């Protein structure tokens, strides 16, 4: 069935049917009842729009390339969820490539995306230094690149929230788990922590500072560095972890040392991944609005595809964190 035949069957104009089927921006002006009739008839008669004709007409492939470090529970997956929700809603297809922080893949994937005629690229937690002919939006890129819009969290507010919470509970000897050296957020967040501790009069001890190592996104990394901190016999009453995944590993290490969370050691994570609320005990964490950041990235890149000149001057979009207090933090024993 052709578009005209489908329109004749419904008693509507081909233009109206085309707008709904192709999810054009002006589809919002058409009543929900009419949209449902059109989509129901398209399913009934197995009508599919001619992708190649549309691509030739618009000079677009309606495809976006998305680069992520890895695909597993945690940061990248939550951001990706927001990206795909919006792209699917807008009728865009997307490729996802996982680079595992390998420099050769970070360099090669943008070229492969361009070979596949993508209209734009979104890069998540990926250093970006490319100059491309298509719009690019990064999430937590933290580096200035010409023509690139970066969606970022306000890390100074995030660090201040977490440390004020711990200080308010009487914790002064705090251990810190830094992110992996190649993570885009590691340096920015650490600088924010240094500033927040200085403002609060909290000393950062090098002996109570550990760094995640390895390219896997596993609680094992947090478990290993926390085990090492505990074996060092340096006293601390709280841990501020780089992310929720490492915080979950830290809790396991604390339990294996015959200690309790939060009675002996309080733990604060970062990100608020979906499983954080379902840990036992549930995890106190700094919430990054990860899905929202993904949605903002997708919205921004599509606007830049459609009206490139309008948004060329925008370089940063900053989102706000939120402290989610659950069961892994409590008042320091000495303060009770």
Q: What is the pLDDT of residues 75-96, one digit of tens each?
A: 889 999 999 999 988 878 899 9
In a domain, 54, yes or no: no
In a domain, 55, yes or no: no
Tell me what pLDDT residue 152 has.
95
Separation in Å, CA 86 to CA 83, 117, 248, 296, 314 = 6, 20, 30, 9, 20
Number of domains in the chain: 3
Nearest to 177 by CA among 233, 125, 102, 236: 236
Tally Cβ neighbours within 10 Å of residue 79: 30
What mean pLDDT comes out for the span 29-48?
Answer: 88
Nearest to 174 by CA among 252, 265, 253: 265
Tally Cβ neighbours within 10 Å of residue 31: 8
For the domain that residue 239 is a member of, what is the CATH number?
3.40.50.2300
Tell me, yes or no, whether 166 and 309 share the same domain: no
Residue 293 has pLDDT above 70, yes or no: yes
Tell me the pLDDT of the chain averaged across its residues: 90
In a domain, 29, yes or no: yes
Q: Cα separation of 96 and 81, whole Å?
A: 12
Q: Cα separation of 325 and 328, whole Å?
A: 8
Q: Cα separation of 300 and 223, whole Å?
A: 38
CA atoms within 13 A on the CB side of 249: 20
Tell me what pLDDT residue 54 has.
59
In a domain, 225, yes or no: yes
What mean pLDDT comes out for the span 313-320?
Answer: 88
Tell me, yes or no, whether 208 and 281 share the same domain: yes
Tell me what pLDDT residue 335 has.
53
Express each pLDDT in 168-208 by its tens digit.
999 999 999 999 998 889 999 999 999 999 999 999 999 99
Enclosing H/E stretch for 146: none
Tell me, yes or no, whether 183 and 249 share the same domain: yes
Tell me what pLDDT residue 50 has.
63
Tell me, yes or no, whether 146 and 200 share the same domain: no
Tell me, yes or no, whether 23 and 77 share the same domain: no
Residue 55 has pLDDT above 70, yes or no: no
In a domain, 296, yes or no: yes
Tell me, yes or no, whether 131 and 167 share the same domain: no
Tell me what pLDDT residue 202 has.
97
Tell me what pLDDT residue 224 has.
97
What mean pLDDT comes out for the span 42-64?
Answer: 72
Return the residue matching tokens 């040392």. 257
Express each pLDDT in 102-143 by its tens digit.
999 999 999 999 998 899 999 999 989 888 989 999 999 887
The side-by-side arrangement of strands in the sheet containing 148-153 is 93-98, 63-68, 120-124, 136-139, 148-153, 316-319
Range of the domain at 115: 60-152+290-317
What mean pLDDT comes out for the span 229-253?
Answer: 97
Torsion of CA 67, 72, 78, 81, to 10 degrees: 70
Tell me what pLDDT residue 94 has.
92
Tell me, yes or no, whether 189 and 329 share the same domain: yes
Tell me, yes or no, whether 10 and 27 share the same domain: yes
In this prediction, residue 25 has a pLDDT band, given cuts at 50, 70 and 90, of: low
Tell me, yes or no, whether 204 and 274 share the same domain: yes
Residue 299 has pLDDT above 80, yes or no: yes
Tell me, yes or no, whether 268 and 224 share the same domain: yes
Are 241 and 189 a contacting pair, CB within 8 Å?
Answer: no
Q: Cα separation of 194 and 160, whole Å?
A: 10
DSSP designation for 120: E
Tell me, yes or no, whether 238 and 328 share the same domain: yes
């Amino acid at each position: 069935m052709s578009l005209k035949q489908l329109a004749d069957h419904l008693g509507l104009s081909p233009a109206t049917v085309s707008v709904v089927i192709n999810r054009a921006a002006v589809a919002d002006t058409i009543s929900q009842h009419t949209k449902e009739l059109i989509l129901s008839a398209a399913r009934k008669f197995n009508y599919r729009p001619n992708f190649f004709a549309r691509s030739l007409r618009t000079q677009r492939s309606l495809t976006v390339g998305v680069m992520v470090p890895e695909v597993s529970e945690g940061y990248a997956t939550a951001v990706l969820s927001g990206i795909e929700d919006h792209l699917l809603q807008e009728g865009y297809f997307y490729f996802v490539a996982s680079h595992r922080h390998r420099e050769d893949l970070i360099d090669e994937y943008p070229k492969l995306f361009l070979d596949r005629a993508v209209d734009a690229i979104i890069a998540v937690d990926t250093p970006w230094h490319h100059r491309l002919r298509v719009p690019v939006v990064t999430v937590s890129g933290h580096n200035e690149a010409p023509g690139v819009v970066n969606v970022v969290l306000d890390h100074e507010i995030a660090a201040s929230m977490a440390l004020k919470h711990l200080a308010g509970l009487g914790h002064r000897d705090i251990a810190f788990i830094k992110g992996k050296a190649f993570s885009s957020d590691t340096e920015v967040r650490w600088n924010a922590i240094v500033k927040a501790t200085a403002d609060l009069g909290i000393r950062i001890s090098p002996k109570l500072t550990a760094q995640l190592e390895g390219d896997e996104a596993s609680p094992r990394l947090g478990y290993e560095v926390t085990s090492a901190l505990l074996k060092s016999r340096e006293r601390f009453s709280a841990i501020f972890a780089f992310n929720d995944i490492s915080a979950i590993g830290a809790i396991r290490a604390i339990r294996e040392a015959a200690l309790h969370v939060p009675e002996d050691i309080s733990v604060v994570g970062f990100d608020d991944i979906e499983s954080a609320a379902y840990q036992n005990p549930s995890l106190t964490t700094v919430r990054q609005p990860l899905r929202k950041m993904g949605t903002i990235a997708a919205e921004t890149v599509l606007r830049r595809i459609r009206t490139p000149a309008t948004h060329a001057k925008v370089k940063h979009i900053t989102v706000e964190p939120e402290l989610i207090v659950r069961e892994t933090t409590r008042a320091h024993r000495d303060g009770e």
